Amino acid sequence: MRINRLAGILSLATMAAVLPVSCNGGNGNNSSNSNTGSGDEPELIDYAAQAKLNLEYEEKNFLDVGVGEVTVQMYIDGDTTHFIELDKRQVDARYANINTPESTADIQKWGKSASLFVQDKLESASTIVLTNPTMREEAPEHDDNQRWLSLIWYATVESPTLDDFRCLNLEIVQEGYSAITGMESYYPFYDIFHDAQKQAQDNRLHIFAPDTVVDPNYYVGEAAEISIEEFNKNAAKYAGKKVHMTGIVSTFMGVQSVWVESVSDDGSIWGVYLFTGYSGNAKPLFKVGNMVEFTGAVTEFNGDYQITDLQYNQYFPTEDDVVLISENNPVPSASQVAPSSQVLAGDFNVNTTVTLSDDLVVTRGWGGTDEIDPDTGVNYANNAITLWCTNPEGEDVQVYMPNGAMLRGDDGMLIHSWTYFEGKTLSNLHGVIDSYNGRYSLQLLSTNDVTISATETVA
Amino acid sequence: MRITKRIATALLVVASTGLSACQGIGDDDGHNVVFWVSGGNATTDLINNTLVPMFREEYAAEMPEDLEITVLSQGDYNGLYDAVSKAIPAGTTPTMAVAYPDHAASYVASNALVDINTFINDEEMTFTAEEGGGAEDFVKAFWDEGKNISGQEGLYTVPLYKSTEVMYFNRSYFHEHNLKIPTTWDELIEVARTIHDSNPEYWDKPEHYPVIWDSDSNLFITHAYQMGYGYTDPSQTGNPFIFNNEGNRNFVKELKGYYDDHLFATKGSLGGQYSSSFLTNEQCIIAIGSTGGSTYNITPNFQLGIAPEPVFNTQNVAYIQQGPDVCFFRRSSETELEWGWRFYRFLTSTLTNYRICSTLSYNPVRYSSYELDQYQDYVSQYAAFVDEPMATDNEGNLLHVDSNNMGLQSMVAYQTQKIVQANQLFYSPAFLGSAEARGDETTGVGNVIAGTLTFTGSDIDGQIMNLMNVAVNNALMAYTE
């Protein structure tokens, strides 16, 4: 939106004089202001206090009727959070009508700050309610990534009334963490959102601030030149910062997951996981055996550290772009051929690949989109499959196929249920070593990673 | 350099004689070029982080020191249209915005846009030879689309980058099942039926269709255009929305049958989900979608193919032209308009436009971009896979593009270049109500298809007629406002 300086000053002065409402809203929520100019900061109108939740939510489920109470399952970023409904169904909520800067696969200025702002607000909440952005009791719509478009309402007092709720989407706009996107003019809060956005623009909050304003959560320093071994040993030290590493691509899944390895002086093999988003732009990363240099941000996800914000554009190259050094290099961990007991014992490092020399028999499992989630009574939301197997030593070995792994059955079509594997023998297993709660497991990424056969019964 | 007096005078004359007295320029001397765009972070990142700094560097000697350039995404095209429509009466329009000519028609009616000829006709502001030259270097169909919108003389939008539709298909599946690549609509349905009947248990699952066509409205408009049934005709001043006719209704009814047989679906009938996610998940084998979204189809799980969209009428082969134009708003200062226009010239200069389009998977707007050696290298790299998609080695194995189809963008660019060279692009005229007639999968002719495919009642003819009437009436309301 065009900022007309004179008009901006006049309108702000008028607003402040006529409606001197502080942004310290009804729930004690503080508004920050990144305008570092004169120090004579104007009072801002708390537009988030003007939008009222007017739908009864108790004992309703958002996915059915477009309004319902939820709890947080996982914070993703400034405009996406995973919630759980009262009936245990998972709701991957995409905050409607906003688009905060990125803080996952790509890292952008104000992205992490927006993400922390959302987390701070929801952690302070006693009650969280999702509504359809139309504010009608009608089933919600999802975006192309199967995320449900929602307004997120939260209250910080116990036993809240409807008046106690604040609209987090609106608060994000009011704070200048996002411009409004794709908002239909018939939505009930259309004007309030636009007034809040104008105020954020006029006051140059966060994304509307001049380039000289520093985002304390956005790293702008040089990338630290480190080895993959150093990353594995001291990842927390680099969290939030940029690192530069070199290694050989060992495997990848789709266009969003890449594993890179290197060998240390003592011969040990180390691996790192790169989350590359969904564009497939960083082409040198998507060929096994490529030796690459890459610069990325160290981020934490589900307790593990990973590299994100990989850059590559052959038409507008930058110094942080992924660089292809050489092709057709042997993958260091190709030498890791061992029985599964060695994987369980932690003989190999996580995020390296291993080929199992023994067979596993599937005893139980869960997951796959054809299966019903016993917690919710509906189909699993994604195709992740977990198998519990026994090895010849009688040990339990966990084999995991993440959502996005492409394993085909006998008919050539994708497998959508763990039961396809039930009782069968898995041979020629090759995958990436993972660790969760101190227990090692094997991730399979494609049909080529396993031979599936009927288990021979012993007479 | 300041905007020349000649331009300023011309613009002020337009303003003073325009339809709305409150519209004008030069009522302040703002130095903030605000550019509203559509699309996700990739587009705004590229413009903000790369192109604006390049532009600033190139024009550092002439640019006012305090000039700001602010690029803001307003969501998808409809969100942007809505935002601009609201900003016009509020007096808060940006300097420039991405716009479909359909959308620009309503901006023109509000007297909000600058006639771009004002820039072009000024010798100090017009395109330079270094940029690639003037209108004659722009792909004719791209350039002409912005002319005479709503029948008003002038040029109100200019092309930024363009796209059309192509057919993406699972080449590995075609090879394994020995299928022939369809070139006509009848062949497409025949292939769909063969795929379905080979494994009905799989294809009868929810959200499994051998063929998915992304854009409901493009499907409707392309069919009507090729078959000559008629879509809109602005020369018919009473009711220019001529799409509610027997030929079009019969086609929609035909689609309904294919949908019910689980052969064919559209984005609208699938709740707005793009075909690319179905293709990569192997829930469809053929996806017809925009060349602008090609990277979303990239997958390492099978070999992808590219082919022209199957045609309805081999005697009238034509593919719909889409992709954004740019328009300029009169309610901006002279400085802002001058530098906004310079920024547009920079974005569409021969080399820069090629680089932008290759990054975002769009098609350049200048002939000179297509003629660049770099572009020819880019498009020819995987051309053989487009010309002979089912080629095999001596042992009968399908030739692979590469391990995970990273050559797809190049293949799409090559296919689109062939379409541009053959002058096979078409567009429907832009005038008041044309945006509403087109709509998306929930409004306009798009909704006629989506709303029919998902209809569960028995009176299909009645449903089609009802949706047609709704689409015509909504368009007429906008037309007569």
Residues A311 and A374 in one domain: no
Residue A213 forms part of a structural domain: no
pLDDT surpassing 60 at residue A388:
yes
**Helix B444-453 vs helix B246-260: angle between axes, to the nearest 10 degrees?**
40
Phi, psi for residue B28 in degrees, rounded to 5? -150, 175
Range of lowest pLDDT (A240-244, B6-10, B14-18): B14-18
Residues A61 and A200 in one domain: yes
Residue matched to tokens 């050696």: B373
State how far residue B354 is from chain A, nearest Cα, in angstroms: 9
Kindly state the average pLDDT of the residues A34-42: 50
pLDDT surpassing 80 at residue B18:
no
Distance between CA A166 and CA A122 in Å, rounded?
11
pLDDT surpassing 70 at residue B23:
no
Residue A163 forms part of a structural domain: yes
Name the 3-class secondary structure at B32: strand
pLDDT surpassing 60 at residue A25:
no
State how beta strands A67-77 and B264-266 pair.
unpaired
Kindly state the average pLDDT of the residues A245-273: 95
Please give the residue of chain B at the shortest CA–CA distance from A448. Answer: B301
Residue A404 forms part of a structural domain: yes
pLDDT band, very low/low/confident/very high, at A31 (cuts 50, 70, 90): very low
Kindly state the average pLDDT of the residues B266-288: 91
Residues A343 and A313 in one domain: no
Q: Which of A4, A106, A181 sits opposite B28 (nearest CB)?
A: A4
pLDDT band, very low/low/confident/very high, at A67 (cuts 50, 70, 90): very high
Please give the residue of chain A at the shortest CA–CA distance from B199. Answer: A411
Distance between CA B158 and CA B104 in Å, rounded?
11
What pLDDT is recorded for position B218?
96
Name the 3-class secondary structure at B397: coil
Please name the residues in contact with A193: beta carbons below 8 A apart, sequence gap of 6 or more.
Answer: A47, A97, A169, A170, A173, A180, A183, A187
What pLDDT is recorded for position A398?
97
Selection from B330, B309, B285 nearest residue B192 by Cα: B285
CB contact under 8 A, B92 and A1: yes
pLDDT surpassing 60 at residue A407:
yes
Residue A1 forms part of a structural domain: no
Residues A101 and A113 in one domain: yes
The residues pairing with B474 across neighbouring beta strands, listed in sequence order, are none
**Residues within 8 A of B (CB atoms), A 285-314 only:** 286-288, 313-314
Please name the residues in contact with B201: beta carbons below 8 A apart, sequence gap of 6 or more.
Answer: none
Distance between CA A271 and CA A268 in Å, rounded?
10
CB contact under 8 A, B79 and A183: yes
Kindly state the average pLDDT of the residues B430-446: 89
What pLDDT is recorded for position A161?
97
Residue A369 forms part of a structural domain: yes
pLDDT surpassing 80 at residue B17:
no
What pLDDT is recorded for position B407?
87
Number of structural domains chain A divides into: 3
What pLDDT is recorded for position A278?
67
pLDDT band, very low/low/confident/very high, at A369 (cuts 50, 70, 90): confident
User: CB contact, 8 Å: B314 with chain A?
Assistant: no
Residues A292 and A244 sit within 8 Å (Cβ to Cβ): no
Q: Which of A6, A287, A314 sits opposite B28 (nearest CB)?
A: A6
What pLDDT is recorded for position A108?
86
Phi, psi for residue A458 in degrees, rounded to 5? -85, 125
Residue A31 forms part of a structural domain: no
Distance set, CA B304 to CA A282, A290, A302, B392 (Å): 19, 22, 34, 14
Residues A102 and A191 in one domain: yes
Residues in chain B closer than 8 A to A289 (CB atoms): none
Please give the residue of chain B at the shortest CA–CA distance from A405. Answer: B301
pLDDT surpassing 60 at residue A392:
yes
Please name the residues in contact with B355: beta carbons below 8 A apart, sequence gap of 6 or more.
Answer: A315, A316
CB contact under 8 A, B406 and A142: no
pLDDT in tens, B361-391: 899 999 999 999 999 999 999 999 999 999 9
Kindly state the average pLDDT of the residues B316-343: 95
Kindly state the average pLDDT of the residues A420-431: 97
Residues B232 and B241 sit within 8 Å (Cβ to Cβ): yes
Residues A42 and A23 sit within 8 Å (Cβ to Cβ): no
CA A64 to chain centre: 25
Phi, psi for residue A130 in degrees, rounded to 5? -105, 140
Name the 3-class secondary structure at B138: strand
ipTM: 0.73
Kindly state the average pLDDT of the residues B453-472: 96
What pLDDT is recorded for position A296?
94
Selection from A24, A125, A50 nearest residue A81 by Cα: A125
Mean pLDDT taken over chain A: 87
Substitution target in A315, A416, A449 with the highest count of B β-carbons within 10 Å is A315
User: CB contact, 8 Å: B412 with chain A?
Assistant: no
Domains of chain B (ranges plus CATH)?
A: 5-162+322-369 (3.40.190.10), 165-321+398-480 (3.40.190.10)
Distance between CA A356 and CA A338 in Å, rounded?
5
Residue A214 forms part of a structural domain: no
State how far residue B304 is from chain A, nearest Cα, in angstroms: 14
Residues A63 and A201 in one domain: yes
CATH of the domain at A375: 2.40.50
pLDDT band, very low/low/confident/very high, at B41 (cuts 50, 70, 90): low
Q: What is the DSSP letter of B404?
A: T
Residues A189 and A69 in one domain: yes
Residues in chain B closer than 8 A to A101 (CB atoms): 41
pLDDT surpassing 60 at residue A229:
yes
Residues B155 and B146 sit within 8 Å (Cβ to Cβ): yes
Distance between CA B255 and CA B185 in Å, rounded?
11
Q: Which of A4, A141, A313 sits opposite B359 (nearest CB)?
A: A313
CATH of the domain at A55: 2.40.50.90
Decide which of A294, A309, A332 is a domain's last residue: A332
**Helix B5-17 vs helix B334-347: angle between axes, to the nearest 10 degrees?**
110
Residues B321 and B142 sit within 8 Å (Cβ to Cβ): yes
The residues pairing with B326 across neighbouring beta strands, listed in sequence order, are B98, B158
Decide which of A301, A332, A363 is a domain's last residue: A332
**3-state SS record for chain A:** CCCCHHHHHHHHHHHHHHCCCCCCCCCCCCCCCCCCCCCCCCCCCCHHHCCCCCCCCCCCCHHHHCEEEEEEEEEEECCEEEEEECCCCEEEEEECCECCCCECCCECCCHHHHHHHHHHHHHCCCEEEEECCCCCCCCCCECCCCCEEEEEEEECCCCCCHHHCEEHHHHHHHCCCCCECCCCCCCCCHHHHHHHHHHHHHCCCHHHCCCCCCCCCCCCCCCEECCHHHHHHHHHHHCCCEEEEEEEEEEEECCCEEEEEEECCCCCEEEEEEECCCCCCCHHHCCCCCEEEEEEEEEEECCEEEEECCECCCCCCCCCECEEEECCCCCHHHHCEECHHHHHCCCCCCCCEEEECCCEEEEEEEECCCCECCCCCCECCCCCEEEEEECCCCCEEEEEECCCCECECCCCCECCCHHHHCCCEEECCEEEEEEECCEEEEECCEHHHCEEECCCCCC
Residues A292 and A247 sit within 8 Å (Cβ to Cβ): yes
Structure-token pair, residue B73: 């995404």
pLDDT surpassing 50 at residue A38:
no
Substitution target in B57, B106, B360, B406 with the highest count of A β-carbons within 10 Å is B406
CB contact under 8 A, A287 and B403: yes
Please name the residues in contact with B330: beta carbons below 8 A apart, sequence gap of 6 or more.
Answer: B11, B14, B15, B18, B23, B24, B25, B111, B112, B113, B114
Residues A326 and A340 in one domain: no
**Helix B101-109 vs helix B77-90: angle between axes, to the nearest 10 degrees?**
10
**Residues within 8 A of B (CB atoms), A 379-438 only:** 406, 411-414
More confident residue, A308 or A436: A308
Range of lowest pLDDT (A163-172, B296-305, B341-350, B410-419): B296-305
What pLDDT is recorded for position A350?
97
How big is chain B, counted in residues? 481
Distance between CA B116 and CA B158 in Å, rounded?
8
Residues A240 and A328 in one domain: yes
Structure-token pair, residue B464: 């089609």
pLDDT surpassing 70 at residue A1:
no
Distance between CA A121 and CA B343 in Å, rounded?
40
Kindly state the average pLDDT of the residues A254-260: 89
User: CB contact, 8 Å: A446 with chain B?
Assistant: yes
The residues pairing with A433 across neighbouring beta strands, listed in sequence order, are A442
Q: Which of B32, B75, B272 sits opposite A2 (nearest CB)?
A: B32
User: CB contact, 8 Å: B72 with chain A?
Assistant: yes
pLDDT in tens, B189-236: 999 999 999 999 999 988 899 999 999 999 999 999 999 999 999 999
User: CB contact, 8 Å: B351 with chain A?
Assistant: no
Residue matched to tokens 């699993």: A380
User: CB contact, 8 Å: B202 with chain A?
Assistant: yes
**Residues within 8 A of A (CB atoms), B 239-298 only:** 271-274, 277, 280-282, 295-296, 298
CB contact under 8 A, A181 and B73: yes
Structure-token pair, residue B406: 């990273």
State how far residue A341 is from chain B, nearest Cα, in angstroms: 31
Kindly state the average pLDDT of the residues B52-81: 88
**Residues within 8 A of B (CB atoms), A 18-77 only:** none
pLDDT band, very low/low/confident/very high, at A106 (cuts 50, 70, 90): confident
State how beta strands A425-427 and B158-159 pair.
unpaired
pLDDT band, very low/low/confident/very high, at A41 (cuts 50, 70, 90): low
User: CB contact, 8 Å: A3 with chain B?
Assistant: yes
State the CB neighbour count (10 A cutoff) for residue B204: 12
CB contact under 8 A, B74 and A101: no
Q: What is the CA radius of gyration of chain B?
A: 23
Residue A266 forms part of a structural domain: yes
Kindly state the average pLDDT of the residues B323-337: 94
CATH of the domain at A246: 2.40.50.140
Residues A115 and A192 in one domain: yes
CB contact under 8 A, B79 and A3: no
What pLDDT is recorded for position A140?
93
Selection from B115, B118, B146 nearest residue B18 by Cα: B115
What pLDDT is recorded for position A295?
96
pLDDT surpassing 50 at residue B150:
yes
CB contact under 8 A, B404 and A280: yes
Residues B275 and B284 sit within 8 Å (Cβ to Cβ): yes
Q: What is the DSSP letter of B287?
A: E
What pLDDT is recorded for position A276?
87
**Full residue range of the structural domain in which residue A340 is found:** 336-453
**Residues within 8 A of B (CB atoms), A 224-243 only:** none
Range of lowest pLDDT (A372-376, B332-336, B365-369): A372-376
Residues A191 and A265 in one domain: no
Decide which of A332, A357, A386 is a domain's last residue: A332
Residues A404 and A444 in one domain: yes
Name the 3-class secondary structure at B85: helix
Residues A173 and A190 sit within 8 Å (Cβ to Cβ): no
